[in-house]
Structures are given as structure tokens and as C-alpha cells.
Amino acid sequence: MSDKIRIGLVGTGRIGRVHAQTLAQRIPGVDLVAVTDVNDAAAQAVAAEMSVPTVAADFAAILADDSIQAVVICSATDTHTPFIIQAANAGKHIFCEKPISADLKAIDDALAAVERAGVKLMIGFNRRFDPNHQRIKQAIERGEIGIPHLMHIISRDPSPPPVSYIRVSGGLFVDMTIHDFDMARFLLGDVVEVYAAGGVMVDPAIGEAGDIDTAVITLKFANGAIGTIDNSRQAVYGYDQRVEVFGSGGSVSSANWYPDAVTLSTADNVRRGLPLNFFMERYTPSYQTEMAAFIRCLQEDTPPPVTGADGRAPVVIALAAARSLRENRPVKLSEI
């Protein structure tokens, strides 16, 4: 493949704009040559801001351009598997935002199309590329904390999304906890059993929409370790992102990120500012590192660092968690 990678992007909403800016302005050896969105005005605005030469009529028009070598899929979740299949059939390499789908049959069909076409597929689990999380992974792999025994992930949003989004999101486990399920696998390997407890403690409308907004999930790993994840749709102090892994020889943990490192101490109290407010602020560098990794795997013809199988696995965990919540029992992943 030539050094200059020509990219087309579908979906110019919040995350699509982030990826478009990274591709257009922050990664050398890349040309973002076309964008498209069902909202043409949004696509036009991104194209104008990022100096993208073409606003395509639709995704099919991007796939029909033989000069485009890869596509970035940032559209609605229900379009992910059809777009992956179409892109694979067109011989394009693919970066797709998470989740691939909430339907395992659809995921398997998409992964089979990728395999037949011999193209690369990378799934957008950006938190793997956060330097704090990578340092925790490094500490585990180097044996710095001995044999891992326990893992705890805290992941709480500053406020819930609109109820209209909740109705189509696939539920808290697929929409929100999916990142934490992937992080659990990234750090400690395969999960074999899940037990989930949850409730509606933030907004009754979320419950009326058929979802929960608060959960604790217990994970059992194949290596014997035990993990817990706690989620809330509303942490009034901001975006709460913490990870700890405890082992036979110590522990390793990460704390929240803040706009500054200042602590103010007076005779009355000791205080500091609130943490960064949401994922767009907290994880901006990880999105850039993630996309650079995708481009690098194309340039060097190496496997993507987050594969289609990596994208499928946390969906299985999410489905097991949903069943556990419904049936009030531990669920083995082999049941899904």
C-alpha cells in the first residue's frame, strides 16, 4: 500500500467530527478525501472546517471511489454491520466505532465478510490507548503486582443522555458498560461468568424507557481473577474514570484527570477543581492515538491492535450481563 492513505468517513456527529479532525489535521501520510452523513448540513460543516474536498451523497458513493483505500464508520450503531459488509465487499479496510452491533448473528456475518475479503477491521475501543490504562496493562504484564486477584473499574457519566437516545441505545450494558467490558478483557483476559445487579436511581424516565441507569457487575476471569464494574449515568461532580488491579505483589491504579494539578489549602479546607467533565475532554488524546494506530497498521500491513473478535467479545459479556439482570443469577458466557 502506498504511503498516502486515502480515507472516506461516514457519520459526522460528535465522534465523527473528532476522527475527521484527527485524520485531516493530526496524522501525516493521510488524506481524508470524502465524508458523508444522513444530515447533509453536518457533513458539509465538517468538510468545510477540515478542508475535506468531497461531501459524498451517501456511503455507497464513497465505496464506489476506487482511490479510497479505507473507510471510517462513525454512523448510528444499527448501520455498523451493513456498512462493514458493504465496505469489505468493496475491498476497503475498515475502522468502525463500537459496538459492532447488539446482535451476535449480525456481528458474525460482518466478521465473515471481512475474512472473505481479506481486509483489515479495527474496532474503536479508544480507552485501550489511554496512557494510564496502558501503564496498568504494562504493570500486569511485567509482573509488577504479582498475580492479579481483583480488578475494580469505576465508570460514571456526568449526566444521562436524552431518553430518546436511551430507547435506541441497546441499553446501559451495550451502550455504556461495553467500554468497561473491553477494558476488563484488555487488562485481565477472557471473562467466563457475569453477575449483574442494577436499578433506576437517576431518572424514572430511563426505567420507563426499559433501561437502568445504575449497575454493579461482577466478573469471573478465566485466569481465576475476580472483577467488579460500577456504573452510573450521573456523577454530579463530573466524569469519573478509575481503575485498580490488586495482585499478590501489590496493586496498580489510575485516578481521574483534572483540568489542572492545583490543590488549594487554607485554614478552612483543602480543595481542588472538579475532574474533566466528559469523555470528549478526558479521552481526546486516546482517540488520536487510536486512529494513528489504525493508519499505521495499514501502512505497515500489520494486524489491527483491536480486532473484530475484540469487538465481538464485550458484546457477549453485555448480553450475559443483561440476562443476569433479568434472571437474577450468574450467567456463564458459554450460555450466550
Concatenating the DSSP letter of every residue in 116-152 gives: HHT--EEEE-GGGG-HHHHHHHHHHHTTTT-SEEEEE
Q: What is the pLDDT of residue 261?
A: 84
**Is residue 12 assigned to a domain?**
yes
Using alpha carbons, select from 140, 311, 157 the residue that is nearest to residue 233. 157
**Owning domain of residue 113:** 5-119
Distance CA 114, CA 166 (A): 30
* Alpha carbon distance 283, 256 (integer Å): 11
Output the domain CATH number for residue 27: 3.40.50.720
* Whether residue 106 is found in the same domain as residue 152: no
Same domain, 111 and 182: no
**What are the backbone dihedrals phi and psi of residue 253, each rounded to the nearest 5 degrees, phi first?**
-150, 160
Q: Is residue 224 part of a domain?
A: yes
Does a structural domain hold residue 243? yes
Give the pLDDT confidence score for residue 12 in this predicted structure.
96
Tens of pLDDT, residue by residue over 1-56, are 447 899 999 999 989 999 999 999 999 999 999 999 999 999 999 999 999 999 99
Residue type, 327: E
206 inside domain:
yes
The reply to whether 31 falls in a domain is yes
Kindly state whether residues 96 and 113 are assigned to the same domain.
Answer: yes
Tell me if 159 is assigned to some domain. yes
**137 shares a domain with 112:** no
Examine the domain organization and report whether 187 and 325 are in the same domain: yes
Identify the three-state secondary structure at position 172: helix
CB count within 10 Å of CB 88 equals 24
One domain, residues 220 and 324:
yes
**Domain shared by 68 and 132, yes or no:** no
Q: What is the pLDDT of residue 284?
A: 87
pLDDT score for 214: 98
**pLDDT of the residue at 1:** 45
- The last residue of a domain, from among 119, 147, 170: 119
Q: Is residue 264 part of a domain?
A: yes
Residue 331 β-bridge partners: 194
The CATH number that applies at residue 227 is 3.30.360.10
What is the chain's Cα-based Rg? 20
- The answer to whether position 290 is within a domain reads no
User: Do 276 and 138 share a domain, yes or no?
Assistant: yes
What is the domain count for the chain? 2
**8 φ, ψ to 5°?**
-115, 145
Domain stops at, among 85, 119, 153: 119
325 and 202 in a single domain? The answer is: yes
Cell numbers placing 119: 481486509
Q: Are 330 and 191 in contact (CB under 8 A)?
A: no
Per DSSP, the residues of 302-323 read ---SS-HHHHHHHHHHHHHHHH
142-160 pLDDT per residue, tens: 999 999 999 999 999 999 9
Verify that 225 and 178 share a domain, yes or no: yes
Alpha carbons 32 and 57: distance in angstroms, whole number: 16
Per-position DSSP letters for 216-269, written without gaps between them: EEEEEETTS-EEEEEEES--TTS-EEEEEEEETTEEEEE----S----EE-SS-
Say yes or no: 150 and 22 in one domain. no
**Boundary-marking domain end, from 119, 140, 171:** 119
> Which helix (H) or strand (E) element contains residue 25?
helix 14-25
Please check whether residues 318 and 178 belong to one and the same domain: yes
Mean pLDDT of the chain: 95
Q: Compute the distance between CA of residue 152 and CA of residue 158 in angstroms, rounded to an integer.
A: 19
CA atoms within 13 A on the CB side of 329: 5
Separation CA 166–CA 64 (nearest Å)? 34
Q: What is the pTM of this model?
A: 0.93
Going residue by residue through the chain (336 aa), what tens digit of pLDDT does each one get? 447 899 999 999 989 999 999 999 999 999 999 999 999 999 999 999 999 999 999 999 999 999 999 999 999 999 999 999 999 999 999 999 999 999 999 999 999 999 999 999 999 999 999 999 999 999 999 999 999 999 999 999 999 999 998 988 889 999 999 999 999 999 999 999 999 999 999 999 999 999 999 999 999 999 999 999 999 999 999 999 999 999 999 999 999 989 888 989 999 999 989 888 877 777 889 999 999 999 999 999 999 999 999 999 999 999 999 999 999 999 999 999
